[in-house]
A and B are shown apart, each in its own frame.
Chain A
Amino acid sequence: MAENNRAEGAGAISAADASQDAFAFLGKGGEIRQLIRNFDWSATPLGRVETWPGSLRTATALLLQSPVPIVMLWGEHGIMIYNDAYSGFAGKRHPQLLGSRVREGWAEIADFNDNVMKVGLSGGTLAYRDQELTLHRRGVPEQVWMNLDYSPVLDETGTPAGVVAIVVETTREVLARQRIAREHERLLQLFAQAPTFMAMLRGENHVFELVNPNYQALIGNRDVIGKPVSEALPELADQGFGDLLDEAYRSGEPVSRWSERLILVRSLATGPEERFVDFVYQPITADSGEVTHIFVQGSDVTERVIAEHRQRLLVNELNHRVKNTLASVQAITSQTLRGAMSLKEASDSINGRILALSRAHNMLTAQNWTGADLNEVLETALSTHDDPDRPQLDVTSPPLRLEPHAALSLALALHELAINAAKFGALSRTEGRVEIICETVVVDDRDVFRMTWREIGGPPVHAPQRRGFGSHLLERALPAELSGQVRIHHRPDGLVFELAAPLSAIREGVGLG
């Protein structure tokens, strides 16, 4: 029967032939029509096509005409008849699926289809949107989503005889939506975990829609969502940030600022705080090109700005010290050269003085230029002039902290005294001694620091003919620096140097100026 039909149908079927053709109701064209013609329906509960009731034929003809994937499940077993569009959806299950029982043809979802058959054959309808199913269409499990609409097909007596299913696969759409949702979720996570602060402001009044934890940290524990900036953060609006937001909103152009200073009132308890921020106001436009939002993104760079400021100060201070030191070296060289008898003598003196200055700087730098102990000053200035195995210096001094300028001046003065003693005084002879006594005494109700340098056992001394660098330093600069007095006695038995200065002018932290 099928063989005959195929033989007749192989060529062009004439109108006369068609009237006698049992399959004429199927219409023409398409793979599925040929398969239906060739199928041995007698082996199914449907029986030979010639015996099919009108309702089955009509329903079959109807679904074959549809470009939408449709399958009909006929009878209590749900014998499957479907159209070309459905065969594409069925994958490798096609063409075996044709004429099979739905619970066997789609064995992996037999329970699902069992319910479909029960509901459909009792006259009910079912509709599923994006129904998730696992199908084995290509030999492997495959997760798919479908829109499924089931409705009963009535036979001539008005009794449900089958179920017709419109099957639209939505897997691609569902996956796309999932991807978008994941993307959205990921963006929200980025937003939340971003190391920078972020906020989304809606509309021309800049209403907070979203803030991330860093933004919340910047503004303090204030509830801003749903409020316009002017209300949520009034202190910022007053500092010109409201105008900047308006500008970005109106122009559609991003506005960015670097190291911008702002005063924040995070809470009434802490009061106004100065912060520095880098930020961008990025206008967000709708498809129409109209600005709808402003995305705020930035970083609190307060620590960086403070560090830069400190660095600038340090560089300036360093430059200042370098220039001062150069001027000091200049003073040493020019004045030493002026009083020198020979280049050799000048060179030695200059070296000695620069090294003395350098040692004093080292001493002060080690204590961050806050000051120095008197004992340390004496040690620093005199150690190179005394031999520990044959000590010639006898030093007595109280514990006393000196402010840095006093310490530096005293160290340079001691160096000059020692150099002079080594050249002309007690230290020029092995039996010579120097007694150095430092003390604090009360004179006229004022605390006075006194230092006496007494040379013993040296050659007879005379007042110098020339006044060089050393004399100037000891007799003019030192008393001016310490607001004190200096007296130098050139006694026949040795030089005596006396310094007296108000303790307040030399002591750390309480200097006069």
Chain B
Amino acid sequence: MLVALLIEDFILQLGCEIVGMAMRLEPALDLARTIDIDVAILDINLAGKPSFPVAEILQARGIPFVFASGYGAAGLDGSGISAPVLQKPFDVGDVRRLLTAAL
């Protein structure tokens, strides 16, 4: 929850707008199916569940995304998904770099 606040803060600093925020898999899936956005930041772990199904929906919709994870890139092992990973903890520069790369 606190990390979401941090990301929100960084995104606002970068001059972007927060369109939606979800902390659980179900609401995140709903958002991913319907929301109109330029880019998404996905924590790999949503209250104990991997967010990969959300990534698959975004991928299918052609919406770029980056992951955030305490595991780093190793958190994607076995998922079959490749995307930039923000290793926690991170600063606003990291977020800018990865979002720029994703966009």
Contacts and interface: CB of A to CB of B under 8 A. Distances in A.
A324 interface: yes
Contact of B1 (A329, A477, A513): A477
A320 B77 CA distance: 14
B27 A320 contact: no
A327 B90 contact: yes
A332 B90 CA distance: 14
7 contacts: A320-B45, A321-B70, A323-B69, A327-B88, A477-B5, A477-B21, A513-B25
Nearest to B92: A334
Given A327-B88, A513-B28, A480 B23 contact: yes
B27 A331 contact: no
A359 B5 CA distance: 20
A323 B88 contact: yes
A329 B49 CA distance: 23
A334 B23 contact: no
A324 B3 contact: yes
A409 interface: yes
Interface string B7-23: 01100000000000111
Interface stretch (A122-130, A208-216, A391-399, A468-476): A468-476
A320 B23 contact: no
Given A338-B9, A512-B24, A513-B46, A331 B70 contact: no
Interface in A344-369: 357
Given A332-B2, A472-B5, A480-B22, 12 more contacts: A319-B71, A320-B45, A323-B87, A327-B3, A331-B5, A331-B9, A335-B9, A480-B4, A480-B27, A481-B1, A511-B24, A512-B27
A368 to B, nearest CB: 13
A5 interface: no
Nearest to B51: A513
Interface string A47-58: 000000000000
A512 B26 contact: yes
What is the size category of the interface that chain A forms with chain B? 35 or more
B53 to A, nearest CB: 10
Contacts of A326: 88-89
Contacts of B57: none
B1 A334 contact: no
Q: Is the interface of A mostly helix, strand, loop or mixed?
A: helix
Contacts of B6: 327, 330-331, 334-335
A328 interface: yes
A327 B69 CA distance: 10
A334 B93 CA distance: 14
A327 B72 CA distance: 13
Contacts of A483: 23-24, 26-27
Contacts of B22: 480
A412 B1 contact: yes
B47 interface: yes
Given A327-B90, A505-B24, A478 B1 contact: yes
Contacts of B24: 481, 483, 505, 511-513
B70 A476 contact: no
Contacts of A512: 24-27
A326 B89 CA distance: 6
Interface in A452-474: 469, 472-473
Contacts of B75: 320
B70 A405 contact: no
A513 B5 contact: no
B85 to A, nearest CB: 12
Interface in A305-319: 316, 319
B70 A320 contact: yes
Nearest to A326: B89
Contacts of A481: 1, 4, 23-24
A327 B70 contact: yes
Nearest to A322: B70
A408 interface: yes
Nearest to A316: B71
Nearest to B47: A405
Contacts of A511: 24, 47
Q: Which of B27, B74, B75, B89 has the most CB of A within 10 A?
A: B89
Contact of A405 (B1, B26, B87, B88): B1
Contact of B3 (A328, A412, A505, A513): A328
